[in-house]
């Protein structure tokens, strides 16, 4: 008995000592938090931004108002930076003017008062070194596993090349730094449009021509919010085919592509017996379209039979149209599909290859460019399918059903007897 008491006292002493030492350190394999989304706005502050042709106001004043509203509406977790170009040197020395780019607000949690004050003091001044500014902005947002976004707002083409901004965009894309550059043009000049389209296309971004204040503010907010929505998964670049036979084979993941107007774009996904395919597609509406457009996602067998088509999955956003589908082989396997070969084809032995096709009904008003194609994001997942019930199964509800049946029968008999009694009484009277 005494030994038991001593053992208990000893155990309590050890526990007390551990408690005094504090909680053990966290284990090393605890999941780490994802880094926040990072966006930098790059604003052209060159001399041409004094031009007053947007709703009767100067281009710079329209841009300043749009920046203020974007800063006010910034999602809490998004880290935002602001860089300007052509903002400080008013002289004619091109060598000096083409080095004129500064970051006026670093990428990070935003002090809204400071950011808006810095924006308000901008005055259109000098040259337009877009290529140099893009290269500096890429350093501002840094590198990492998640996608960074740069949004370039300008009213002119680069007048300082080299470096050529298109070459800079290709250079950044080739580095594999998960960097997307979206461009906004404050003029309809054809040379500016071609250059901004080239920059956006090289990095998987979008180009938008802006003609009104509310259009600029709305588009900026959409792009910043898009960074917040999609930064956790960096899409892999893929190129869909014009038919199933030569389509790329996709493993579960997120993929980026571009689709031309009224095009059918094909992909293939291996699905084993007992698995369920889940897929969704979103297309960014980066230019003006005619009304009554849509996007369709279908899964087909190798012989062309349609297995299922996507249902509308709209999110309420006006800058993106989406759809999705689910399919599992519950009755019969699809017909053998074309031979799997090429990148991603490994590991498909014993699986049926389901064909995914993305179609659209886009058309554009006269004057709107239809190339390059619209930015497309395709999400693919393959999971174990859930067994479908063979029929209703009440389980313990049978007893309740039997009780309700008996109660209903007795209630019917009593009601009938009372009705007869009332009729008999009525006849006697």
Give the Cα separation of 304 and 326 in Å (integer).
18
Work out the average pLDDT over 210-215. Answer: 89
Residue 304 counted as domain residue:
yes
Question: What's CA 404's distance to the chain center, in Å?
Answer: 52
Would you place residue 230 in the very low, low, confident or very high pLDDT band (cuts 50, 70, 90)? low
Within this chain, do residues 61 and 198 fall inside the same structural domain, yes or no?
yes
The residue with greater pLDDT, 197 or 22, is 197
155-190 pLDDT, tens digit per residue, is 988 999 899 999 999 888 877 667 889 999 998 888
How many angstroms separate the first and last alpha carbons of the chain?
Answer: 94
> How much of the chain, in percent, has pLDDT values that exceed 90?
38
Within this chain, do residues 219 and 265 fall inside the same structural domain, yes or no?
no
Within this chain, do residues 292 and 330 fall inside the same structural domain, yes or no?
yes
Greatest Cα-to-Cα distance within the chain, rounded to the nearest angstrom: 120
Give the Cα separation of 20 and 37 in Å (integer).
40
Within this chain, do residues 46 and 134 fall inside the same structural domain, yes or no?
yes
For the domain that residue 355 is a member of, what is the CATH number?
Answer: 2.60.120.380
Strand 295-300's sheet: what is its strand order?
264-271, 352-360, 295-300, 306-309
What is the pLDDT, as a whole number, of residue 341?
40
Strand-pair category, 320-328 with 352-360: unpaired
Which among 62, 102, 101 has a CA at the least distance from the CA of 184?
62
Question: Domain range holding 215?
Answer: 38-230
Tell me how many domains the chain contains.
2
Work out the average pLDDT over 17-23. Answer: 41
- Return all residues near 38 (Cβ < 8 A) that are at least 6 apart: 78, 79, 80, 81, 107, 141, 142, 146, 148, 149, 227, 231
Work out the average pLDDT over 272-281. Answer: 89
Buried b (16+ CB within 10 A) or exposed e, 120-152: eebebbbbbbbbbbbbbbbebbeeeebbbbbbb
Within this chain, do residues 95 and 174 fall inside the same structural domain, yes or no?
yes
What burial class does residue 36 get, using C-beta atoms within 10 Å of its C-beta: 0-12 exposed, 13-18 middle, 19+ buried? middle
24-77 pLDDT, tens digit per residue, is 443 334 444 577 889 999 999 999 999 999 999 999 999 999 999 999 999 888
CA angle 415, 418, 421 (to 5 degrees): 150
What is the pLDDT, as a whole number, of residue 227?
75
Within this chain, do residues 76 and 223 fall inside the same structural domain, yes or no?
yes
Q: What is the pTM of this model?
A: 0.59
Would you place residue 312 in the very low, low, confident or very high pLDDT band (cuts 50, 70, 90)? low
Instruction: Say if residue 135's pLDDT is above 90.
Output: yes
Within this chain, do residues 282 and 369 fall inside the same structural domain, yes or no?
yes
- Considering only 9-18, 242-251, 326-335, which range has the smallest mean pLDDT? 9-18
Are 72 and 112 in contact by the 8 Å Cβ rule? The answer is yes
- Considering only 130-134, 140-144, 293-297, 409-413, which range has the smallest mean pLDDT? 409-413
Instruction: Say if residue 337's pLDDT is above 50.
Output: no
The whole-chain average pLDDT of the chain stands at 80
Residue 26 counted as domain residue:
no
Residue 47 counted as domain residue:
yes
Are 372 and 291 in contact by the 8 Å Cβ rule? The answer is no
Give the Cα separation of 45 and 285 in Å (integer).
27
What is the pLDDT, as a whole number, of residue 336?
47
The residue with greater pLDDT, 90 or 292, is 90
Work out the average pLDDT over 359-382. Answer: 86
Within this chain, do residues 222 and 328 fall inside the same structural domain, yes or no?
no
Question: What stretches of 163-212 show up as alpha helix (H) in DSSP?
Answer: 165-174, 190-203
What is the pLDDT, as a whole number, of residue 81?
95
């Amino acid at each position: 008995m005494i030994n038991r008491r001593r053992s208990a006292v000893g155990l309590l002493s050890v526990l007390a000592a551990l408690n005094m030492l504090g909680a053990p350190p966290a284990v090393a394999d605890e999941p780490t938090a994802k880094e926040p989304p990072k966006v930098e706005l790059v604003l052209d502050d060159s001399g041409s931004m004094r031009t007053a042709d947007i709703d009767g106001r100067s281009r710079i004043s329209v841009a300043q108002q749009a920046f203020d509203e974007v800063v006010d509406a910034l999602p809490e977790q998004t880290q935002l930076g602001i860089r300007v170009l052509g903002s400080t040197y008013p002289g004619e020395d091109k060598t000096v003017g083409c080095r004129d780019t500064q970051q006026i607000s670093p990428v990070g949690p935003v002090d809204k008062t400071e950011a808006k004050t810095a924006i308000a003091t901008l005055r259109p001044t000098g040259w337009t070194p877009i290529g140099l500014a893009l290269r500096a902005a890429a350093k501002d947002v840094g590198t990492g596993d998640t996608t960074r976004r740069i949004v370039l707002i300008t009213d002119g083409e680069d007048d300082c090349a080299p470096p050529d901004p298109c070459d800079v965009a290709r250079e950044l894309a080739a580095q594999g730094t998960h960097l997307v550059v979206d461009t906004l043009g404050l003029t309809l000049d054809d040379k500016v449009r071609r250059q901004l389209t080239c920059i956006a296309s090289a990095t998987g971004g979008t180009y938008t021509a802006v003609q009104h204040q509310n259009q600029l503010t709305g588009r900026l907010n959409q792009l910043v919010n898009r960074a917040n929505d999609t930064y956790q998964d960096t899409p892999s670049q893929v190129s869909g085919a014009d038919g199933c036979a030569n389509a790329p084979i996709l493993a579960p993941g997120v993929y980026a592509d571009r689709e031309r107007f009224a095009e059918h774009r094909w992909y293939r996904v291996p699905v084993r017996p007992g698995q369920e395919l889940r897929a969704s597609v979103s297309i960014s509406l980066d230019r003006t379209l005619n009304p009554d457009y849509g996007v369709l996602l279908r899964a087909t067998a190798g012989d062309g039979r349609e297995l299922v088509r996507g249902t509308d999955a709209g999110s309420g956003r006006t800058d993106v149209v989406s759809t999705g589908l689910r399919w599992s082989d519950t009755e019969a396997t699809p017909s053998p599909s074309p031979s799997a070969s090429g990148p991603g084809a490994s590991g498909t032995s014993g699986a049926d290859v389901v064909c995914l096709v993305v179609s659209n009904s886009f058309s554009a008003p006269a004057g709107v460019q239809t190339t390059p194609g619209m930015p497309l994001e395709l999400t693919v997942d393959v999971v174990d399918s859930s067994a479908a019930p063979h029929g209703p199964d009440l389980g313990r509800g049978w007893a309740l059903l039997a009780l309700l049946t008996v109660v209903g029968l007795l209630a019917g008999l009593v009601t009938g007897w009372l009705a007869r009694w009332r009729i008999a009484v009525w006849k006697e009277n």
